[in-house]
Amino acid sequence: MVPHLVTALSGPLLDLEEKILAATPAIERWFRLEWQEHTPPFYCSVDMRNAGYKLAPVDTNLFPGGFNMLATEMLPLSVQAAMAAIDKYCPDARNLLLIPEITQRHPTYWQNVARLMQIFRQTGLHVRLGSLSPEVTEPTPIALPDGNMLVVEPLVRSPNGRRVGLKDFDPCTILLNNDLSAGIPDILQNIHEQSLLPPLHAGWALRRKSNHLNAYDEVVKKFGKLIGVDPWMLNPFHAKCDAVNFRTGEGYECLAANIDTLLAKIKKKYKEYGIKDHKPFVIVKPDAGTYGTSILTIKDSSEIKDLTQAQRDKMIVIKDGKEVTDFIIQEGVPTFESIESAVAEPVVYMIDRYVVGGFYRVHAEKGVDQNLNAPGSQYVPLAFAQQHAVPDLKAKPGTAAPNRFYVYGVVARLALLAASLEMERTDPNPEVY
């Protein structure tokens, strides 16, 4: 399924698609050389927005859920990518310990866990689930909507204190599908005999979006130079404010000043490219955290001081009850893709350095300038399964689904590369690895 674009596919995005397709050999070689220098995150998902005049990643998740949303035709590709990823860390691995989120969220989350287990079993691994929850003291069954059952078990530290596993299960590799928003638990500290993937500093206890955005700035400048496009076509402007308190109003001056600066820069770009149908806006969101919480859409800096009590309360606490004071301001990228009149945005999934699928996040009650990662969203698998997104160089720009999905995959891999740089630069113990 290819969604309809409300705006005509013309102008800059067609030019971008054309340049990316024409430069495919150079692009793939460039990525190949970059991956010789940098290690990609174990897995990753990237939320993107296609505005018709630019295509940009707006969020990069290093603990992706939603593998159950991928088209089943993509499973073989996911298995191959998982094999490549595991080979890097533990080529003779037999056992994989998967650590999911503590809170037993919506049943679809557990379907995601079941899909991950299916993928890694197909690579030849025994896979079991270990829980960080203190309430899990014995093997605990979890029923899935499809009638199947998962079992989560309590984690145990080995007698020598150097390894983590389950009773009678000693894994070579530990895969986190828990983003550590609540902090790094003691049982995962100081593990040096096993591969812990992603590493602890990828979790929201330590990770900051601003570090990722700075790395992405670098990556997209190099890429823009490679194919001859303005990096802005692929990159939202951004700024950062620390010590903001939505309860007391402290730090509002920083927010307002940065909002004004960003809106002025966006207006200048709109003028440069003759974009007249859109009013610039920015998104204010926590520098750490996920799940689409604590997000504001702002079109004028005066809106900051006029927030309602409910809006302020929403910005104070994120997932797991953590209070937040550091925020990023990011250029808002409207989405002009829609499925059956509902606003849609693409989300691309990767394992190791390979694109393994994706889906459209669709929300019938949201506007083109709003966050779609909210209750009520639905998911439609991306058509990466069609020819595995091999581009059709003879097709007219904007007419071929494989071409659009190939371009999505290129931009997602730029974010993946930025995440690898981010992880290298923020590693608190680089000598350990």
Residue 97: what are its φ and ψ, rounded to 5°? Answer: -100, 125
Give residue-wise pLDDT tens across range 383-400: 554 544 466 666 666 656
- Number of domains comprising the chain: 2
Residues 393 and 305 in one domain: yes
Tell me, yes or no, whether 430 lies in a domain.
no
Q: Residue 31 corresponds to which tokens in the numbers above? A: 């990525």
Residue 159 shares a structural domain with residue 240: no
Work out the mean pLDDT of the chain and round it to a whole number.
Answer: 87
Please indicate, yes or no, if residue 429 is contained in any of the structural domains. no
Domain final position from 176, 205, 234: 205
Is 431 part of a structural domain of the chain?
no
294 plus 366 within the same structural domain: yes
Of 205, 226, 241, the residue at which a domain comes to its end is: 205
Q: Are residues 60 and 76 in the same domain?
A: no
Q: Are residues 123 and 143 in the same domain?
A: yes
What is the Cα–Cα distance from 159 to 166, expressed in whole angstroms? 12
The CATH number assigned to the domain holding 77 equals: 3.40.50.11280
- Per-residue pLDDT band for 6 (boundaries 50, 70, 90) equals very low
Q: Which of 125-139, 210-224, 288-302 has the lowest mean pLDDT?
A: 288-302
Helices H / strands E in the chain, number of each: 8, 19
**One domain for residues 79 and 58:** no
Same domain, 295 and 162: no
pLDDT bin (cut points 50, 70, 90) of residue 218 is very high
Alpha-carbon Rg of the chain, whole angstroms?
22
Examine residue 428 and state whether it is found in any structural domain, yes or no: no
Closest CA to 373 of 46, 7, 1: 46
Q: Place 206 in a pLDDT band, splitting at 50, 70 and 90.
A: very high
Same structural domain, 277 and 356: yes
169/94 Cα distance (integer angstroms): 10
Query: Same structural domain for residues 228 and 353?
Result: yes
Q: Please state, as a whole number, how many other Cβ atoms lie within 10 Å of the Cβ of residue 362.
A: 21
Which of 183, 205, 227 represents a domain boundary (last residue)?
Answer: 205
Percentage of the chain modeled with pLDDT above 70: 88
* Kind and range of the H or E run holding 287: none
Range of the domain at 183: 69-205
173 with 47, same domain: the answer is no
Output the pLDDT for position 229.
94
| Residue found by looking up tokens 């974009």 in the block | 275
**Within a domain: 51:** yes
What are 121-144's pLDDT values in tens digits?
A: 999 999 999 999 999 999 999 999
Indicate if 217 and 98 belong to the same structural domain. no
Query: Judging by beta carbons within 10 Å of its beta carbon (0-12, 13-18, 19+), is residue 143 exposed, middle or buried?
Result: exposed
Residue 433 lies in a domain: no
User: In this predicted structure, which of 98-102, 129-133, 176-180, 277-281 has the lowest mean pLDDT?
Assistant: 277-281
Token output for 183: 């902090």
Same domain, 257 and 384: yes
